[in-house]
Amino acid sequence: MTGVWHVLGAGSLGGLWATRLFRAGLPLHLILRNPQRLAEYHAAGGLELLENGTSRLYAIPAELPEATTPIERLLVACKAYDAEAAVAEVAPRLTKHSEILLLQNGLGSQQAIAEQWPESRCIFISSTEGAYRQADFQIVHAGRGQNWLGDPVNRQRPPWLGELNLADIPYTWAEDIMAKLWRKLAINCAINPLSVLNDCRNGELLNHPEPLHKLCCELSEVLRACDQMDAADGLEAEVLRIIQATAQNFSSMHQDVQNGRRTEVSFLLGQASRAAHQHGVVTPTLRELLDRLQALLRRHGLPDD
Ligand code: NAP
């Protein structure tokens, strides 16, 4: 065993990871944002995981960011727009060679954290697992998937990966995690905004082949300009495959807008758009979609970043 896990954020994915690590007997602390959330957590008696039709409550120890015990391994399970500020709150507790595991979707938040805390090893995670909160501290494990873990500057596998086997958390150590993250970002950029703007399930996007095709071409060009050849290769075919496989689903961004929740647009389309600008790639379809999407978010009273 190689030290205590600290899980920052007890939401959907943080809860899914925390309950599985805890029930495998691994030492773990949850970090909740403030005394009110901590009191609510204690009143709930722990984190409940609903899985395969059964539910179990796990009384995982929880604490506030300002607790004083050192943190060697921090799993950051906040949304991308909250991640940097959340890490800043616990930063004084990070040990010199601590590890920060970043579960955020899209790109941008991971790099900001890696730059801000260079003495920590940052491990980026691309997850296709599915979880949602049925109520506060009640997590539903909704979809099986995979977690790709990797470190863009150090390919050495961390010694604690075996703990994920113990906890039954599916994972693959990715030699090229940036390719995984860029590919997922591009897929999200192709599907999410169109599903929000057309207010439709993923499958209905097949009725909009032209914008989808133009978008995939522009995104592939952006990926190539960023030296992400593998991520660019076959992008449109994979987007079409995913649309067919998830035809009945609403995209995560569609669900966020529908539920009045802030989206991670800045770390998805915003990031693609900034990369395009930086490399001089012209992306009129992406630009127009981003403008229309931001206007729609403002109309819904949601942040447009
Ligand atoms: P979520 O359910 O909204 O959970 C985020 C949690 O972070 C919330 O519990 C929130 O606390 C907490 N938080 C925010 N700021 C904090 C702070 N300063 N200190 C402590 N806790 C803080 O989000 P999620 O769905 O798990 O998503 C997390 C990331 O994983 C996102 O980037 C998402 O795109 C990615 N992801 C999610 C899934 C999925 O199926 N859910 C799948 C793949 C990737 P409160 O409860 O107090 O608001």
How many angstroms does the Cα of residue 81 sit away from the middle of ligand 1?
A: 10
How many angstroms does the Cα of residue 77 sit away from the middle of ligand 1?
A: 5
Tell me what pLDDT residue 174 has. 97
Tell me what pLDDT residue 278 has. 97
Give the CATH number of domain 179-299; options: 1.10.3980.10, 3.40.50.800, 1.10.1040.10, 3.50.50.60.
1.10.1040.10
pLDDT tens for 56-78 read: 999 999 999 999 999 999 999 99
Whose CA is closest to atom 36 on ligand 1? 105
pLDDT tens for 130-143 read: 999 999 999 999 99
Tell me what pLDDT residue 253 has. 96
Which residues sit with their C-beta closer than 6 Å to ligand 1? 8-14, 31-33, 37, 77-80, 82, 85-86, 89, 103-105, 127, 129-131, 133, 264
Give the CATH number of domain 5-175; options: 3.40.50.720, 3.20.190.10, 1.20.1250.20, 1.10.3720.10.
3.40.50.720
For residues 265 and 292, give the distance between their C-alpha atoms in angstroms, rounded to a whole number: 12
Average the pLDDT over 212-227 and give the result: 97
pLDDT tens for 79-91 read: 999 999 999 999 9
User: What pTM was estimated for this model as a whole?
Assistant: 0.97
Whose CA is closest to atom 8 on ligand 1? 11
Pocket probe for ligand 1: among 7, 8, 12, 255, the residue whose CB has the most ligand atoms within 8 Å is: 12
The 3-class SS string of the chain reads CCCCEEEECCCHHHHHHHHHHHHCCCCEEEECCCHHHHHHHHHHCCEEEEECCEEEEECCCEECCCCCCCEEEEEECCCHHHHHHHHHHHHHHEEEEEEEEECCCCCCHHHHHHHHCCCCEEEEEEECCEEEEEECCEEEEEECCCEEEECCCCCCCCCCHHHHHHCCCCCEECCCHHHHHHHHHHHHHHHHHHHHHCCCCHHHHHHCHHHHHHHHHHHHHHHHHCCCHHHHCCHHHHHHHHHHHCCCCCCHHHHHHHCCCCCCHHHCHHHHHHHHHHCCCCCHHHHHHHHHHHHHHHHCCCCCC
Whose CA is closest to atom 14 on ligand 1? 78
The answer to whether residue 180 is catalytic is no
pLDDT band (50, 70, 90) for residue 1: low
Average the pLDDT over 164-180 and give the result: 97
pLDDT tens for 99-126 read: 999 999 999 999 999 999 999 999 999 9
Q: Which sequence spans correspond to the domains of the chain?
A: 5-175, 179-299
In the predicted structure, residue 2 carries a pLDDT above the cut 80: no
pLDDT tens for 232-250 read: 999 999 999 999 999 999 9
Pocket probe for ligand 1: among 6, 7, 8, 13, the residue whose CB has the most ligand atoms within 8 Å is: 13
